[in-house]
Structure 1
Amino acid sequence: MNICVLVLEGVFDTGLATVLDAFTTANELAALRAVAAPPFRVTLVGMRAQVTSAQGFGIPVLASAACPAPELVIVPALGYKMPEPLGAALARPDVADACVALRRWAAGGARIAAACIGTFVLAESALLDGHEATTTWWLTPFFRQRYPGVRLDTSRMVVSSGQFLTAGAALSHLDMALWLIRQSSPELASLVARYLVVDSRPSQSAYIITDHLAHADPLVERFDRWVRANLDKRFSLELAAGDLSTSKRTLARRLHDVLGKTPVAYVQDLRIESAVHLLKTSSTSVERIAGMVGYADGVTLRTLLRRRLGKGIRELRAT
């Protein structure tokens, strides 16, 4: 398989190295274990003659013309973690040129995969409009505001939609690479995961720090604080809106725009998050914890926890 890795200025060192190591390991193991899988031929290309990584290392790249008809294009992350510097990076001329190249490769039938901040570069090309995608969890509000046409689901680690593949936060580069290797040979992907000692992680949900996302918007942040202060009580959207001096409609719209969730779904996520934390860090009974997070009894809490676990298992089997 001919793979073109698009390396832009300030590329995230770990992400690029992870992708290259995964495919190199796959080629080595295929030969060592006689696995019937086509070799992965990887070419690094850039939009400029010289590319420096986020850590200051020079990356040898070829011009994009060196990859005229790739079967797969991979966009590793850029080394920017916060909205303001990322926004400035996305406005660079080399990123605009990369978007043109991505559209050309997509028109030629190439599958395009991006991980972490690389998903912003792919979304910038408008190729993700109308498609499902994921991105790094802590930049969810910024992504939603910048690319409203993308159907974002950041609970998932890897999302395949049409000819596009997106992966979540920084180390999801490996999840993405294993997914791509699995399309050629499930046996080989399993071997690579074993040799690299990697567990399957179908969801980002366990890693998301909910209050970090809430801080992206003043009203959502106030709602987050209000919910946490009233977690043991029956939730009322009308009461929440009144206490926050806003309307139910405005509150619901803001939560959807920033987090992609309804108020009820957000409250349930906080309840489950708090319950899991208490179960892990205290000896309090399930019955008592249920009351502390707003559920009538332990049976309800156990059912919700099983559903959450079951969803993770189903996502794992689908990858």
Structure 2
Amino acid sequence: MKQSLFICTILGCNPKIPFGKIQLLLTTVVVSCMVTFGLLLFLHILYPGEDVMNLEVISNIFTCLSSIGFMLSKLTLMLNKRKEMRKIFQYIETVFWRIEDVPDETERTECKKILLQGVYTIHAWSFLFILWLFLCLKIKSLPLKCYQPEWIPLPFLIVLENVAFILLSMGVIAIDGIIMNLFLMIAIQLKMLNREFKSMFDTKDENFIAEKIVKLIEHHDFILWFTSLINETISASMVIFLGNIVSNLCIYLYHFSTMNSIGWGIIRDIDVLGGTLIGIFGAYCVPAQICINEAEDIKISAYFSKWYEHPRFKRHISMILARDSLGITITAGGIVKVDLETALRVVKLACSYYCFLKTVTDI
């Protein structure tokens, strides 16, 4: 989380830092670079010059424009939702249970394993990002053809595109990394809550049990509300994210089907495709699925908590089991549920669009 927030500081969109002149300057530089690059791509469609404007070139431009729009939507999210994001971080620091407070070492290890999934995802992203930089230097050409005014030298355009891609990649990794960590932190809270529900009748002190049940229900209510807050904050951005994923997967699959030989350009495309898949599975859908699974286990933990040894609390257990309908649901735009099944459907949809695109071009 700290590394992601540091990158957001460089991009001028760290919600934990007051939005001052320096933040405004950094954000302006990033947005200007993205908009300039996007404008040159769009002008290339209108003024292709000697290039043949076929379906492959247009699809490349469309994919890159959608990625730029995705990045700008991320910046907009972090800037427009600064108040909500600051509130989210405040609750994490003040209300969330700490892993260090878990008495059982095995349980602490299980919680840390959930966080390690986020670490592995960030490391995989970082590796692909460094590989992408190496491939860009190896190819020594424009990552993507764009409109080239006569008064702009080619080396400057190469630098502009590479800087734009670097800022785009850093922004996506950082902001998606924050969202991924939020999901994983919720999953850890639910896992700790499950543990407490299982052990709430391990003592004979019924007054202590009564206080603990109230505490657990209140924390469960907080987690449900906190998840809704995150969902409302990032929901609109996730719609653009899913659309960008579908277009990227579709276009890059088309690239692979039309290649005549394996070169550095194809390896770079594979690198981008790998980062795209890590994004949808590692940063969004798998962490969201972990949250959903942990939330569904609460009723099981409560039922197998030796409540039968304390008939006085039978009604409380019934109420907890009835709260199963208050499960966690993370959606994109309030339309698409974000989970592992959705990730697989998105990949399937992208493959279907690829087959359609391939059929059209072969006619």
Q: What TM-score comes out, normalization by structure 1 length?
A: 0.30
From the two aligned structures, give the one with the greater strand fraction.
Answer: 1
From the two aligned structures, give the one with the greater helix fraction.
Answer: 2
The higher radius of gyration belongs to 2
